[in-house]
Structure 1
Amino acid sequence: MSTQPGASRPQTADSATEDLSTTEAAVAADSLEDPELDAAAAGGRIDREAVHQALLGSWPKERLAGRRNAANPVFWRDDSLGMDAHRERVLEQSRKLVETGTPALAYPVKYGGGNTAGGNIAAFEELVLADPSLQIKGGVQWGLFGAAILHLGTEVHHDRWLREVMSLELPGAFAMTETGHGSDVASIGTTATYDPETEEFIIHTPFRGAWKDYLGNAALHGRAATVFAQLITGGVNHGVHCFFVPLRDDDGNFLPGVGGEDDGLKGGLNGIDNGRLHFTNVRIPRDYLLNRYGDVAADGTYSSPIDSPGRRFFTMLGTLVQGRVSLDGASAVAMRAATAIAVTYGNQRRQFAGGDGDEVTLLDYQRHQRRLLPEVARAYAATFAHDELLRKFHEVFQDIADTPENRADLETLAAALKPVATWQALDSLQLAREACGGAGFLAENRLVGLRADMDVYATFEGDNNVLLQLVGKRLLDDHLARLKQDAVRTVASQVGSRAYRGIGLARLGANVGDFGRFGRSVGWLRDPVHQRQLLAARVEEPIGEIAAALARVRNESKQVQRDVFNQQQHKLIMAGRAYGELLQWESFTRALDRFDPASDTHRILTALRDLYGLEVIERDLGWYLMSGRLTVQRARMVSSYLNRLVAKLRPHAQDLVAAYGYEDAHLRAKIATGAEAERQAEAAQYYEQLRASGDAPVHEKTLRSQRDRR
């Protein structure tokens, strides 16, 4: 277990409160001045190219290739199209995407692929900037349907189907979700019963709730599907397995026993032909079972390299974690796009007269700064965290560090970051839309369209609340394991005892403490050690409280224990979300080490990191006050310092979003092209010339003032 900063000695809740009280006078004396940040704000600037390179992450070549695709008008969304035409356009775009070579990046070289799991997702997620429907349709084809064959099948399946999947000669659907079961995959109703006499599996949906639903490529284009079903042989159910099932003939007609419906118009992503599928005793050959983790012999004997049915199930689903990883990255792309559009517009649009009579730039208003600059900070935090997640994913799926422990960590990290990032993206898009006023509501400025398309990100590849519950359970298991290891028999004394540092997931990167204090002599709130303690306490204390509640009923019936656990569900999910935010803060902190600590870039990005962390803390100030983690006076200082931070970061806002590296062809928002600046310049020139001409009308208020003076 690694030790995090500020965790050199355990603290009890009382000692933590005592420590806060003893430093109250010092903090009160601190005027919250920051000479280094003041100097950077006054004249320094970030090194935009260096920051740009850091934001590109570990696969800059592949990410830039993805951006070139996104900047190509061939792949752009056409807002004038209805659903049917949009679907056909996206299908044709997918075929053209094959020609670029990017869809093949994740596949083995043997089949013409690039053999780079991380590089594939880096390129793929940038397609959000072209059309989210294209990104998701590609994700269905190559990231789900094809990935299921690649990761759950064996060489015979790869040789049979992968080339056609990669070339889109074989469009496919990923048939896991059912109308009656979404996130609870283990309970799906579709069955695959083995018939030893014909050596075939019989795929069947026994009731309406077992229909496969919300499937991309199912309504029109899919010719086959990877179908998840309960494998039954010899009267024994061996749990969920994956099967290759043909759907349609070459003319697009359903094969015998296969049926379905079109899901129709959706709230977004209408370039994808989502639909429902059902099967009535559809027979497929025995070797259409994707049998990497479970096989059935000709006589019906089942075998698996993994004895435990539960571990086998989670191993199979874990191979498909890339969907969650890519959604995390696509959300970071959307956040960057939203903040680039809104900050650019806010830097050009003027509203309401200032003291000198000229109208004020929107971003000069404190409220506008408090709306947009924290979103920029979140975009940076999400970007750096995603790159670390992507590196972990690459290490596992390229067999660099593919261990059960690393796979478990990867699954938990993805389950923590995907919900946080998708919610953040939706919030950023909405805040950016509102910050741009009526202009933000126009489709031509992209914000409403992006938000509509990304709305479903919060529930597919796992409902966010369900995923965070999985994270919370992992945190709780680690907490209980640590207590058991320490031979502690009660958890009550552990509640709020120390920053959460025992989680195995801390292995993701170096300790935050490795970066020291960044050469800054600043107040308590700006100390990264204290920031981390506060963010980590928001994870550990609820987990400790849940453990205590469960300990009190450990000798009760199973039903009582379930009821008590259910009563803790909200707290568990909030702890999972806090953990995802902690991961983002830590990733941002590690990213700071790429820059010279004496540089303006480091100082400004450190302030942006502080803005991210303190804004998260401000959101939960009530909890910090009730838990005794912050005094009232220090809680007030959080908001005061945030106001100061946004004011000091305001001169750098345009540089910070420009460092993303997005061009007009990526954003395609008219209000972010400089058109507003031209309008403002035209208006200013008009009034200047009018005043100079002497023909300017006199305002009624001026006349009244003159009369009153007489």
Structure 2
Amino acid sequence: MTDAAVRSRKPSLSKRTPAGGAPTAAHTADEAAEPRIDVDAVTDLLLGTWAATRREAREMIKDPAFWRVEGMPMPEHRERVLTQLHLLVENGASGRALPKEYGGLDDNGANLAGFQELVLADPSLQIKSGVQWGLFGSAIHQLGTKKHHDRWLTAVTNMELPGAFAMTETGHGSDVAAIATTATYDPATEEFVIHTPFRGAWKDYLGNAALHGKAATVFAQLITGGVNYGVHCFFVPLRDDDGAFLPGIGGEDDGPKGGLNGIDNGRLHFDHVRVPRENLLNRYGDVAADGTYSSEIPSPGRRFFTMLGALVQGRVSLDGAATTGTALALHIALTYANQRRQFDSGAGSDEVVLLDYGKHQRRLLPLLAQNYAQFFSHDELLRKFDGVFSGRTDTSEEREDLETLAAALKPLSTWNALDTIQECREACGGQGFLAENRMVGLHQDLDVYATFEGDNNVLLQLVGKRLLSDYATQFKGADAAKLARYAVEHTAGKVFHGAGLRQLGQAVADFGSTARSVELGLRAEQQHELLAGRVEQMVADVAAALRPASKLDPAEAAALFNAHQVELIEAARAHGELLQWEAFSDGVKAIADDGTRQVLTWLRDLFGLHLVEKHLAWYMINGRLSAQRAASVTRYIDRLCARLRPHAQDLVDAYGFAPEHVRAPIASGAEIARQTEAREYYAALAAAGQLPPSEKTLKKK
């Protein structure tokens, strides 16, 4: 909703400036005579492949019973979220991923798409449901076999069996291979003995552990016949029907956290707790009655990563939920900015709408472009996930690609969520700091997304290692001629000129205008060359620096790797940004409507150039951009922001949020009502001749 009712309908260009220097801009594309986006069609694009499921979930959470209540004490919040999980069961939202024989839909993509939307209701609900069905239930489903499915899946789905996912330990977070909890097989009783040998081995930060969990999927080092066969997963009962811990099991409540206080996170420890041999979730590794270990995957390393890869959906979910949470913050901030007025021109003119200020456009519109890119890249990730988990494309190569893609995108979306929500909060001033307008709560709840389901820097290191591995395969068996040709094609000079920007800088006069030349030199092809070229050179530089490691002893090789860890992680981050840009570009190409395609092309360009500007120092140091071209990047971003300003409301309306999803008074129309009241008040005084003249006016006379 904009304040069109109190503005002139005369089209106004964003570059017009009235007396006094305050900008005026068209608030809608209609006023600016610009191409219009088809809002409904863009909503379909953003909702993606599983749009129907997302709409179904959004319709369900219009019920206030699902909403976060600001300021609710932690105990009440925990019980409310537990009740909400039962409501999800009643609404048929808990079993989409299950095989049809267990009452599910056998639709993995729809399952994650539906759960991600719960972030609009209460992030605690989204994460607790993820613990119950995406971690605890999924461990049984993905790591267990039919006997486990028959025994537990239905009870997990209908909340008869709430559970915890006990992987992380106080002493080992992302380094799962080094966890210290043990599961030692006793052939005399055909039982595993689960034990946490010291305090650092306690399972920690576990949702459902403090209060509600009746069982847990516990990850431990499997030891049989005196041999440690690495990390495996076990089903371990925790509590009796009265909620008391079973013998040998203890724990603590993690207490209040920085956010997500509707989830009962806690710690668990085990003192020689015995569970039957059948409680080993044995899809990838089994122990016979006599203690003999067997696995279809002979390599311990590959077996470990296969088991963890089966649980990649947590990262996929966080990428999607962070993207949707970020969209909510942008919807609130940009809607408010399109209505809130602050400061006049100094010449007695109307106060200026916040989004008419260049700085306000610059701080929010590139973040809007980033968020759109995330929607497109997330849908690609979700499609790949669904292909693997449905079995349609379930190969070792596809699983590795899925793991790498999730590890590349989850860090970018979760970090961006925190940066964007904070910027949106500040852009709304004091209103943004009020809990009722949701920015503060969103930031608190999404803060931990950057470190759980894999610390972001650790995940990017995984991506970086994959990039190095792929880079190295180019040279296996390569002859001298091939290596020489590769070297010639990848010199800095060749890449510099290949981007076409030096030539452009030298021939600006030929185009007749600097602005026109900038557009011709920074469109899609050049953006892709800059972004892809950066990834290629960064990976090549790290690979060259690490080449001596093969001739060093292990300690020296580790030290060399550590010395270049930062560059490796930055290369992985650049790779993730390239993936997002490519996904956005693919999405734009598929748009049929001319106006929609034009506006989203501008938005894609803003995203691409925002990335280039963010790394301008690298591009200049490495000879990819001259100083003149670097300055042109910034100028073009300013032009794009002004061009997109009239489309801002359409672009956030296209998120498809209903008032029940937004629930922020400053984005509800309350601000425009206040502005209208104020303007009518002063207009009435002026009409009645009762408006006192200002001191400045009298002095001019």
Q: TM-score w.r.t. structure 2 length?
A: 0.90
What is the DSSP-based 3-state SS (H/G/I as helix, E as strand, rest coil) of the residue aligned with 1:694? coil
What is the DSSP-based 3-state SS (H/G/I as helix, E as strand, rest coil) of the residue aligned with 1:439? helix
CA contact under 8 A between 2:519 and 2:636: conserved in structure 1? no
> Partner of 2:131 in structure 1?
140
Q: Distance in 2 between matches of 1:182 and 1:496?
A: 40
Aligned pair 1:482/2:482, yes or no? no
What is the DSSP-based 3-state SS (H/G/I as helix, E as strand, rest coil) of the residue aligned with 1:252? coil
> Partner of 1:468 in structure 2?
460
> Partner of 1:364 in structure 2?
356
CA contact under 8 A between 2:620 and 2:627: conserved in structure 1? yes
1:506-585 superposed matches below 5 A: 523-585=519-581
> Partner of 2:156 in structure 1?
165
Tell me how far 1:495 sits from its aligned partner. Answer: 6.4
Q: Distance in 2 between matches of 1:487 and 1:684?
A: 77
Aligned pair 1:431/2:427, yes or no? no
Tell me how far 1:42 sits from its aligned partner. Answer: 3.2
Tell me how far 1:705 sits from its aligned partner. Answer: 1.9
> Partner of 1:611 in structure 2?
606
Q: Distance in 2 between matches of 1:210 and 1:41?
A: 63
CA RMSD of superposed structures (Å): 1.8
Of 282, 288, 291, 2:282 maps to: 291
Q: Distance in 2 between matches of 1:345 and 1:472?
A: 40
Of 234, 247, 267, 2:238 maps to: 247
> Partner of 2:509 in structure 1?
none
Q: Distance in 2 between matches of 1:569 and 1:535?
A: 21
What is the DSSP-based 3-state SS (H/G/I as helix, E as strand, rest coil) of the residue aligned with 2:230? strand
Structure 1 unaligned residues grouped into runs of 5+: 1-37, 500-519
Q: Distance in 2 between matches of 1:604 and 1:249?
A: 59
Supply the AA of the counterpart residue of 1:278.
H
Of 433, 446, 449, 1:441 maps to: 433
CA contact under 8 A between 1:495 and 1:545: conserved in structure 2? no
Q: Distance in 1 between matches of 2:477 and 2:84?
A: 55
What is the DSSP-based 3-state SS (H/G/I as helix, E as strand, rest coil) of the residue aligned with 1:124? helix
Tell me how far 1:486 sits from its aligned partner. Answer: 3.3
CA contact under 8 A between 1:165 and 1:171: conserved in structure 2? yes
1:199-238 superposed matches below 5 A: 199-238=190-229
> Partner of 1:24 in structure 2?
none
CA contact under 8 A between 2:35 and 2:598: conserved in structure 1? no
1:207–1:54: structure 2 CA closer, same or farther, 3 Å change rule? Answer: same
1:94-113 superposed matches below 5 A: 94-113=85-104
Supply the AA of the counterpart residue of 1:545.
D
Q: Distance in 1 between matches of 2:494 and 2:427?
A: 40
What is the DSSP-based 3-state SS (H/G/I as helix, E as strand, rest coil) of the residue aligned with 2:681? helix
Instruction: Identify the range of structure 1 (413-422 vs 691-700) with the bigger mean alpha-carbon deviation.
Output: 691-700
Q: Distance in 2 between matches of 1:521 and 1:624?
A: 19
1:44-63 superposed matches below 5 A: 44-63=35-54
Q: Distance in 2 between matches of 1:394 and 1:553?
A: 38
> Partner of 1:3 in structure 2?
none
Tell me how far 1:553 sits from its aligned partner. Answer: 4.2
Tell me how far 1:44 sits from its aligned partner. Answer: 2.0
Aligned pair 1:325/2:316, yes or no? yes
What is the DSSP-based 3-state SS (H/G/I as helix, E as strand, rest coil) of the residue aligned with 2:257? coil
What is the DSSP-based 3-state SS (H/G/I as helix, E as strand, rest coil) of the residue aligned with 1:638? helix
Q: Distance in 2 between matches of 1:521 and 1:118?
A: 44
CA contact under 8 A between 2:518 and 2:636: conserved in structure 1? no
CA contact under 8 A between 2:518 and 2:632: conserved in structure 1? no
CA contact under 8 A between 2:185 and 2:224: conserved in structure 1? yes
> Partner of 1:621 in structure 2?
616
Spell out, residue by residue over 1:546-591, the C-alpha distance to the aligned partner (whole angstroms, 9 max, x if none). 1111123432222222111111100111111111111110000000
Tell me how far 1:71 sits from its aligned partner. Answer: 1.9
1:144–1:553: structure 2 CA closer, same or farther, 3 Å change rule? Answer: closer
Supply the AA of the counterpart residue of 1:702.
T
CA contact under 8 A between 2:412 and 2:573: conserved in structure 1? yes
Q: Distance in 2 between matches of 1:523 and 1:337?
A: 31
CA contact under 8 A between 1:260 and 1:276: conserved in structure 2? yes
What is the DSSP-based 3-state SS (H/G/I as helix, E as strand, rest coil) of the residue aligned with 1:342? helix
> Partner of 2:304 in structure 1?
313
Spell out, residue by residue over 1:162-211, the C-alpha distance to the aligned partner (whole angstroms, 9 max, x if none). 00000000000000000000000000000000000000000000010000
1:186–1:203: structure 2 CA closer, same or farther, 3 Å change rule? Answer: same
1:166-205 superposed matches below 5 A: 166-205=157-196
> Partner of 1:16 in structure 2?
none
Q: TM-score w.r.t. structure 1 length?
A: 0.89
Structure 2 unaligned residues grouped into runs of 5+: 1-28, 496-515
Count residues with an aligned counterpart.
649
Spell out, residue by residue over 1:310-343, the C-alpha distance to the aligned partner (whole angstroms, 9 max, x if none). 0000000000000000000001101110110000
What is the DSSP-based 3-state SS (H/G/I as helix, E as strand, rest coil) of the residue aligned with 2:550? coil
Supply the AA of the counterpart residue of 2:602.
A
CA contact under 8 A between 1:196 and 1:299: conserved in structure 2? yes
Supply the AA of the counterpart residue of 2:388.
V
Tell me how far 1:40 sits from its aligned partner. Answer: 11
